[in-house]
Amino acid sequence: MNITLTVNGQTLTRDVAPYLLLADFLRDELRLTGTHVGCDTTQCGCCIIHLNEKAVKSCTMLAVQADGAQLTTIEGLARADGTLHPVQEAFRDHHGLQCGFCTPGMVMMGADIVRRLPGADEETIRHQLEGNICRCTGYQGIVEAIMDASSQAKAS
Amino acid sequence: MQAFTYHRPTDLTEVVKILADCEDPKLLAGGMTLLPTLKQRLAAPSDLIDLARIQNLHGICEDKSEIVIGAMTCHADVAASALVRAFCPALADLAGQIGDPAVRHRGTIGGSVANADPAADYPAAVLGLNAIIETNQRRIKADDFFTDLFETALEPGEIITALRFPRPHKAQYQKFRHPASGYAVVGVMVAQFAGATRLAITGAGPNAFRPAALEEALTRSFTAKALEGLQLDPDELLSDMHASAAYRAHVALVLAQRAVGLIA
């Protein structure tokens, strides 16, 4: 089945099998391997991307369901000139990662939280991260990074 | 995942026709349960019918004294709806506690209600708030809808189109959330309507249910104290690795008292 979608600002058409998962489409067909598949069971959040500006788990969507949609993956979050998204910058400032496997999903979820809930407090952010699992950091740096970006978003 | 034919109809007449023509079709709403089920090969439908492009299944509106939520409305939209929050804050709160934010961006009210997972949150709202389930064929009362584990009153070829909620005087949803899955180990919706109190429990039994003894006690006296000494029969509840039936019976009563305490 032919699908046409916009990924990181670029519109493309591909012929895909109906059962191809969106995460596999991004990684295997488009070679956008920044989107990670951790659990493949909708738990870990490593595969989070933005679908029409909303965070979704791309391992639990079919590529055909994204026909006509606007997608942003971790590769498309920074500006074209290389300026990092404020959440990416904050992850660097607050050491919001160790091994880095969960990081693309954490950053995409973080950007979604900052967009929806500017100025969110720590408790809110921890609840909002319920669908993202990190096995290294203990979450402290991640939460601090998102809080920082969130308070910046409110101030601006 | 096994191969299937994918359909993306734009109106319900087309859906009904595809349902009738296919060997083993499944309706796809948000896919938050169905897609993991297909990935684990616990189901292998011949055809998947995606309801996403049927415009009149989306959205929230007020109709006289009721709020009408289209079957394909996602949990995040219900949770964030100013209309729902003004009408029944407990319903918005419940929607905001389902799964996680990314799941709430995809999962739908119609999909959840049709699936009738024993640990899903929405069945407590539908039953506790005395909602009407609208389908392409008829209107079904919440009391007649949830019949057993993953079983509902829906007939083959019948599709949920919307959920209609009457306005309660006051309502509260209390949930003991499974820390990993986010599902309700037990969830209790308490709602006050003119002359009657409704109390619906999800997570504890094979399907959401209303314990008559608890409702009667609350209709007589709407206080947490009125529930003291009452018990649910553990023989009718679920037992699994997460919680025994006796534990679920106890937690349900505690949550019911908390919900009442927050309203009274």
* Residues A1-36 pLDDT 10s: 999 999 999 999 999 999 999 999 999 999 999 999
Does domain A2-76 sit in CATH 3.10.20.30? Answer: yes
Nearest residue of A to residue B6, measured between CA atoms:
A18
Task: Closest CB to A61: pick one of B31, B99, B100.
Answer: B31
Tell me what ipTM this predicted complex has: 0.97
Nearest residue of B to residue A43, measured between CA atoms:
B181
Residue B30: is its pLDDT beyond 90?
Answer: yes
Residue B87: is its pLDDT beyond 90?
Answer: yes
Which chain A residues in 46-65 lie under 8 Å from chain B, judged by CB atoms? 48, 51, 54-57, 60-62, 64-65
* Residue B64: predicted pLDDT: 87
Domain B5-50: top CATH class: alpha beta
Average pLDDT over residues B49-53: 98
DSSP code per residue over B193-217: ETTEEEEEEESSSSS-B--HHHHHH
Q: What is the CATH number of domain A86-155?
A: 1.10.150.120
Per run of 10 residues, the mean pLDDT along chain A (length 156 residues) is 98 98 98 97 97 98 98 97 97 97 98 97 97 96 98 92
- Architecture in CATH of B170-263: 2-Layer Sandwich (3.30)
* Residue B29: predicted pLDDT: 98
pLDDT digits (tens, 9 = 90+) for B173-231: 999 999 989 999 999 999 999 989 999 999 999 999 999 999 999 999 999 999 999 99
One-letter amino acid identity for B57? L
Distances in whole angstroms, Cα of residue B151 to Cα of each of B6, B105, B112, B188: 25, 25, 12, 20
Nearest residue of A to residue B52, measured between CA atoms:
A65
pLDDT-derived band of residue B90, with 50, 70 and 90 as boundaries?
Answer: very high
Contacts of A113 in chain B (CB under 8 A): 101
DSSP code per residue over chain A: -EEEEEETTEEEEEE--TT-BHHHIIIIIS--TTS--SSSSSSS-TTEEEETTEEEEGGGSBGGGGTT-EEE-GGGTS-TTSPPPHHHHHHHHTT--SS-SSHHHHHHHHHHHHHHSTT--HHHHHHHTTT---SSS-SHHHHHHHHHHHHHHHH-
Give the span between the Cα atoms of B251 and B176, in whole angstroms.
8
Give the span between the Cα atoms of B264 and B259, in whole angstroms.
9
Q: Tell me, which fold does domain B57-166 have in CATH?
A: 3.30.465
Domain locations in chain A as residue ranges: 2-76, 86-155
Domain locations in chain B as residue ranges: 5-50, 57-166, 170-263
- Please give the interface size between A and B, counted as residue pairs whose CB atoms are below 8 Å apart: 72
Centroid of chain to Cα B245 = 21
Taking CB atoms and an 8 Å limit, are B102 and A40 in contact across chains? Answer: no
Structural tokens at position A91: 């992850």
